[in-house]
Structures are given as C-alpha cells and as structure tokens.
Structure 1
Amino acid sequence: MRYRRGLACLLLGLVGCSSATTPTSQLQPTTNVIAVEPTSLPAATIIPTVAATMAPSPEVMSELLPQPLYAISSQPNGVQIMRLETDGNTLTSITNEPNGVFDYHVSTLGQIAYIADNDLILVDGLGQNRQILVDGPTINPQADTNIMHRDQLNTPRWSPDGSSIAFSWGGLQIYNLITGEQTMLQPHTSSSDSALADIYDYSVLYGPNSWSPDGTTILANAGFVPEGGNLVLFDLATSEPLTITIDGNYPCCHAAWEPDGSAINVTNEAFGMFPTGWWHINPSTGESKALIDGDNVEPFQPVSSVFMQPDGSHLAFVGTVNSSDPMQISAPLTLSQVGLDGTIRALRQDSQTVGSVLWSPDGSGAVIVPSMMAETQLQWVPSNASPVANLALSGANMQWATTLDQ
C-alpha cells in the first residue's frame, strides 16, 4: 500500500472531527419521535411554487455556464449565498444575514433552504419570500462542544420532490413543508464510554448527506465523537440503519447517487487518512466494490467526483501517481471519461488541483474549487479542449439554480 500522509483531522461536513470506529450497537434504530411540541410548529401551509415567486434572472450578454450558479462566499459582505449568472460574471447576493449563512441547499423547484442564526430558513431562487421554518435556540458563541452538538442546526438537504427538508438538530430530522410536521428519524447517540462520558455527551452525531433519487432513503453522515465517522443509510419506511464501510474504513470523501439509485459512488482524491480511488456502494446491502483502487495498485489513481452519462460511462477527475513521485496530499487531476470496461481516457490535456466539483447537468463541464483547503476563485472546466475559464466568484459549496424562470 502506498504510504499515506496522515491528515490532522477531516471535517465530516456534519459536525466536525470524529473517531475511526464505533460499536455497531450505537447504530441501532430508534422509534420515531416528534422533535418539538406540535404547538410550537408553524401552521401547515402550502409553500408557493418558485414559478409564482421568482423574478426573472438579470439579462446577460454571453453564455458560459449552462445554468446560473450558487455558492457560499465570504465576499463581499460576509458569508452569504451568492448567485452567478450564466455569463460567469454577473453576481447577485441572495442572502444578507447579519451573522452569515452556515449551510444551504437548493430544491428541484428552485427554492433555497439555509441555516442562519441557528434557524432553518426558506427563500425563493432570488432570495425573496423569506420565512423561518424552524426557529432554533440561540447559541452563545462561547458555548462548549456539548451545547453545539445538542443545539446546532446544520446540513439542510431537500427531498427529490421538494416537499421535505432533512437536517441535523439533536439528530437526523425531517421537516415536511406541506404539513409543517417535524420528525426525528435518528437522535444523536448518547455517550456510554466511561472514559469519554465526562467530556462528551454524545458518541455519534447524525445528519443528512443526500436523499436517494426516489426519495425513499436518506444517506446520512454518522460523525463519531471525538473523531472519525461512517455513512449510514436510513430506509424511511422502516427507519432501519445500514452502515457503509470500505474495507473497514470510513467511506470518504465525495458521495453521490447514480441517477437511477442503483448505487452510491464514493470517491477520494486526497492521499491521507482515507483510501483514495472510486467505489460503488450497493444501497441494498451496503457492500462496496472498488472500481479504481487508488492506493494499492500502481500507478495510484486518486479520483474526484464522478458523473454518469446517458450511455452509462462516467466523467471524473482522475490523477496518476507513481511510488517514485514526490509525496503530496493532493495530486493534479485531469477531466477524463471512464468507460463501462474501466478504461480511462483523458478528455483534456491539462490538469488541476481539485478541491470540490459540481458537474453540469448535461456533462458539458464542471465548476471546480481549485484548492483543497481554501475558498478560492471558481473555475469552469469544459469536458473538451475549450479553455478553462475563471469565474467572477470565489466560494465553495456550489449548486446549480433551477431555471424555471428562463
């Protein structure tokens, strides 16, 4: 196995650093409970559709991107959601939250759910018609870790039909926009380890990663305290958990469902504490199959973020590293096509350092963060030999706008 330089800690996207293993007994299902008293829930309302509330996009003079783009950016007025139009240059601030935006997600109907001031907030695609869906408790900035674990809202994730939002608050919860009901699917697991119980109230923290394409299953992050974690699948009909591992390791770092829901792709391009390469996860059994073993077979091939094309082949950013190469955490990656027979064909002659990737829905290219550790200027990388374009936005957590207004 190629020597892998240990990373000090990898944030799970859910709640920070966690540990490499935990007893399987901690992942047992629990009975669904209502997370808050019904009287404190907002009255049931029908959320207006985006088509009725979204104003037209600003007119642009050129078309670089296939759709308008959202990202969280600290420029120019703190951490806010910004919208970049298809010209790659015209910017609009979607939010103006005094204390910034913590996380967000865009629905298939174009609405945006985000966390600010520890509230779950809903706006339309241009930041209008703002409403607070879940009013979370105020958290003192000096609060200790256990209070943050218990009270912090994060990771809103829309269901495929735009009717519900999964999020983390004391566990994995689901908010139904049609009924106003808020249901706890899986509470955080209380600490039972006597060596850690005096320090940490919880041993496992749950939050959503993504919904299955048919909306029947949630892929969740299970963050172990104080470090490490796993991915867990929850069948919404039964609340039964199914834990996913790759050769006993946490499956890190990019997870994405195939469009038909038949598999979950997990890729990792960073040499460090987790295996690099590409795995197919069977969502029915949790079993994993290495499609590209990035660590154990030379030349080593780190992979970032695959995208399935209509013919069943995939686009991906793939690197090539030999044992004699200088050790580095992240290797340059090239936009490539991976065929059904596993052959890898580079579609470009250049390579990039890739932090995160958002593929175009039509596969014509990808928006990337060209850095592993920092908010940097976003780039559009076409799936052909066209030049890479720098976009007028520095940010992270990129998502496409739903173009119902075009």
Structure 2
Amino acid sequence: MNKRKNLLAALLTLILLALACANPLEAPTSQEPANVETIVAATLAALTSALGDETLPSTPQPGDDPSSLLPRPLLYLANDAAQISQVYRLGRDGKSITQLTFEVTNVDDFDVSLVDGSIVFLSNNQLFTINADGSNRSLIVDGGAQDPNNPIITEVTKPLWSPNGQTIAFGQRGINFYSITSGQSNLTLSAQIDSNGFGLMYWPVGYAPDGNKLLITIAPIASDGFSNAIYYPDGNAVVDLVMPQGARNICCSINWTPDGSTFYAGVSFLSPFTTPGLWRVNAANGQVDTLLNSDELAETFNLAAAPFPAPDGQLYFIHGSQTGLSDYAVTTTLQMVRSATDGTTGRTILRPESFNSANEFLWAPDASFVLAAIPPTGGIFEGGALNLYYTDGQPVISLVPFVRYMKWGP
C-alpha cells in the first residue's frame, strides 16, 4: 500500500513538473513544435495511464547517496512556465533542477564547457555565454535578422565548445570559430553559394575529444541530400568520408573514441534517404568500415543507435534486426546490447526493454548506464521523459518529465 501511495505521489510530482517545465514536443509529421495543450494532454495521458502498472520506473529515494546516481551534472533543454525553451541543469542527485537561462525567446541549442561548466546558447539567432551558475550573460555573436526568402543563409547554428574551453565553433555561412581570449570570430570554411542562392552549406556536428578536428555536415542548398566530413581547422583541410561501395551517407548517432582517432555511427530507422547500420570511421583518412550491414534489395536490416566505445574496451549500443521494409516502419525490438568493437563478437542483450520509442541517448562515461528520452507518443523526434537504464540490469529510474539535447557537465 505504501509503495502504491509513493508511486501516486511521484506521478503527481511529474505531472506538475510537466506543466511547468515540459518542452513543446514535435508534431508526428514535421519538425514544428506541437501546441501546448496537446503536449500537456499527451504528457498527462502517458503518466496517468501507468498508475496501474507496478513495473513503472522507480524514482530516486531520499536515502540514496546523492553523489552516486549521476557521475556529473546533466544539462538539457526544457520549457519554463511561459512555455519558452530554456537550459536546465539536473544535479548529481537526480532530483535537484536549476534553470540557467531566462530568455524571452526559445533557446534553440546550447553546449557546455567541460573545463569550467560555462555555457554557450543560441537564441533569436544570437549566441550568448553564461557562467556555470547562469550569471554573466554576454552576447558574443549577433547573427542579425534572417532572410525570410532563404533563412539558412544567415542562420546561426550548432554552437560547440572546444575540449580545452578556449574556442566556440558555430555555423553561419560556413564554419566559424569564436576565440574566448580575443572575443573575435573567424570564418574559416566559407559556404559556397552562387548568385542565385545555390551551393553548399557547412555546419559543425561535434568536436573530437582531442580538439584538433570536427565532424561537419556538408549540405547542398535546396536539396534533401547531405554528406559528412572531418574538418581540421589548423590546416583548413576537409577529409571526405570514404564510404564502402553501395553504402549511403552515415548520420545521426555518433560517438568518438577517447583519443579522437575513430568514431562510431549508427542508424536505427528506415528511410528512403538513409540505410540502417553500424559503422566505424578512421578520422585520419575518412575510411568508413561497415560493421553491421543492411541489404535493401533483400530487405534485411541491422538497426543500430548510440554506439558507445566504452573504457572497458567493449561497444555498447541499441540494436535490432529486421526482415521486411514494412512501409519504413521499425517492427523489430530495439534493445541494449554489448559487444566487441566489431559490433558482432560476443554481442549480448543487456536488458529486456524495448527502446523503439526513444529518440535520444546519452551514455554514462563508464557505460554503467544510458539515459534515454522517451516521448509519450509515437512520431515525436526530439525529447521526452528521462529514464536511466543500468547496463547490469538494475531497476529503471525515472528522473524528469522532459529533456532535449542532453549533455554532461563537468
């Protein structure tokens, strides 16, 4: 009976937090945010429907060691009481939540310095920095008004803090770097745009841990196509990825090895534009090795998400195999697995849960658990309720009602 009461109390708390902080969820058929009424209704339905389910994830208990639940603070985007997207920090206890930005327009993206916890965030086509506690808000880049006829040309995108905390990379008309020391920005890889507004755009995806290179996206304007490459700022060199014969571009779910020599990528959905699979990329020459392949003609697919090369020398990821295209629907069960770094040897399922609905993952640095964003309904592509799944089979822990763009702080 007490367990039942505690469960009800926890759900009521989640409902109140959802009303106050939930981020606008994405509509099933587009990237536009759904209206607030729909979001709240969906959140309430998802939460209250679990009242009769005794397997609902547990919540952190008052007696838990506050220093042991999370290895570092977690930063993420969620909505404030006015339904404006802001940056929040979840403490290591898994319960204490601190709002760090107080913008009048949505915070669209952000990154955190692993040196001192400083934050760079994007709002209203401008970049700002704040201290780790949210103080000292400073405008560092003003992208100006966006061209309504071609907004991608003037849009500021994807701020990324360098591993040494001295530089912020961002996209605007190409790849730019803002120096913390000088307070100046430098456009080093310019977009190739002709007089008719066509050409190639570049924007950063992520720094390698060694800080001397970035993964970037190259996208033709007015096209659904794209490719990825590795960019070395010091020599202004672009290393194109060398795909295996017959393979398409890799995307979407990428993690580097600690030394920055290699990264892994996985695709866990079916689409006319991408092929599911698991790949390993040599950052020096761009060579892509296929670890788990899909055969579109035979309609046999290996789906892989969030591949994480862990300190124990193993590869942790989300995986499922499927036969049949089924109108691009994923009909297999995606589960947490561990294998050797080839993705196959010793591959073992670690948990029974399905991760089909999860749209974002963040691994603990030691791979002891993964954080997953679980939306309340299908067709939502960014964000959801935050659950913690241990790799050793411990019970699932429910943390906060909505997160998007999760990042570890220092």
Q: How does 1:127-142 map to 2 (within 5 A)?
A: 127-139=134-146
Whole-angstrom CA distance in 2 between matches of 1:330 and 1:72? 30
Name the counterpart of 1:361. Answer: 365
Alignment gaps of 5+ in structure 2:
1-27, 33-63
Amino acid at match of 1:336: V
Structure 1 residue 133, shift from structure 2 partner: 1.4
Amino acid at match of 2:231: F
Whole-angstrom CA distance in 2 between matches of 1:233 and 1:243? 6
Name the counterpart of 2:213. Answer: 217
Structure 1 residue 385, shift from structure 2 partner: 0.8
Gap change, CA 1:302 and 1:289, over 3 Å in 2: same
Q: Name the % identity.
A: 25
Amino acid at match of 1:399: K
Structure 1 residue 278, shift from structure 2 partner: 0.8
Query: Does residue 109 of structure 2 align to residue 93 of structure 1?
Result: no
Deviation track 1:90-109 (CA, whole Å, cap 9, x = no partner) reads 22111110002011011111
Name the counterpart of 1:180. Answer: 183
3-state SS in 1 of match to 2:107: coil
3-state SS in 2 of match to 1:392: coil
Name the counterpart of 2:383. Answer: 375
Name the counterpart of 2:286. Answer: 286
Gap change, CA 1:329 and 1:202, over 3 Å in 2: farther
Whole-angstrom CA distance in 2 between matches of 1:138 and 1:389? 43
Deviation track 1:22-78 (CA, whole Å, cap 9, x = no partner) reads xxxxxxxxxxxxxxxxxxxxxxxxxxxxxxxxxxxxxx9745322221111134341
Name the counterpart of 1:251. Answer: 250
Q: Which residue, 140, 151, 154 being the options, matches 1:151? A: 154
Deviation track 1:358-399 (CA, whole Å, cap 9, x = no partner) reads 111121111112245243212111112112222224021000
Amino acid at match of 1:235: Y
Whole-angstrom CA distance in 2 between matches of 1:387 and 1:224? 46
Whole-angstrom CA distance in 2 between matches of 1:379 and 1:67? 16
Amino acid at match of 2:211: G
Structure 1 residue 324, shift from structure 2 partner: 8.9
Q: Which residue, 198, 205, 215 being the options, matches 2:201? A: 205
Q: Which residue, 98, 120, 123 being the options, matches 2:127? A: 120
Whole-angstrom CA distance in 1 between matches of 2:80 and 2:394? 28
Q: How does 1:31-180 map to 2 (within 5 A)?
A: 62=66, 63-77=68-82, 78-109=84-115, 110-139=117-146, 143-146=147-150, 148-180=151-183
More divergent stretch after superposition (292-301 vs 206-215): 292-301
Q: How does 1:2-13 map to 2 (within 5 A)?
A: none
Whole-angstrom CA distance in 2 between matches of 1:144 and 1:324? 38
Alignment gaps of 5+ in structure 1:
1-6, 12-59
3-state SS in 2 of match to 1:357: strand
Structure 1 residue 330, shift from structure 2 partner: 7.0
Native 8 Å contact 1:228 1:250 kept in 2: no
Amino acid at match of 2:218: A
Native 8 Å contact 1:73 1:79 kept in 2: yes
TM-score, with length taken from structure 2: 0.76
Whole-angstrom CA distance in 1 between matches of 2:31 and 2:139? 31
Amino acid at match of 2:77: I
Name the counterpart of 2:394. Answer: 386
Gap change, CA 1:324 and 1:286, over 3 Å in 2: closer
Whole-angstrom CA distance in 2 between matches of 1:390 and 1:10? 26
Q: Which residue, 327, 337, 352 being the options, matches 2:355? A: 352
TM-score, with length taken from structure 1: 0.76
Name the counterpart of 1:14. Answer: none
Name the counterpart of 1:401. Answer: 409
Native 8 Å contact 1:244 1:251 kept in 2: no
3-state SS in 1 of match to 2:152: helix
Query: Does residue 340 of structure 2 align to residue 333 of structure 1?
Result: no
Query: Does residue 275 of structure 2 align to residue 268 of structure 1?
Result: no
3-state SS in 2 of match to 1:149: helix
Amino acid at match of 2:220: F
Whole-angstrom CA distance in 2 between matches of 1:105 and 1:293? 33
Whole-angstrom CA distance in 2 between matches of 1:144 and 1:220? 25
Amino acid at match of 2:406: M
Structure 1 residue 236, shift from structure 2 partner: 1.8
3-state SS in 2 of match to 1:320: strand
Instruction: Write 1 or 2 for the structure with the bigger share of helix.
Output: 2
Q: How does 1:13-24 map to 2 (within 5 A)?
A: none
Amino acid at match of 1:163: Q
Gap change, CA 1:326 and 1:88, over 3 Å in 2: farther
Native 8 Å contact 1:277 1:295 kept in 2: no
Structure 1 residue 89, shift from structure 2 partner: 2.6
Whole-angstrom CA distance in 2 between matches of 1:223 and 1:74? 30
Aligned CA-pair RMSD: 2.7
Q: How many residues align?
A: 338
Whole-angstrom CA distance in 2 between matches of 1:332 and 1:68? 31
Gap change, CA 1:9 and 1:73, over 3 Å in 2: closer
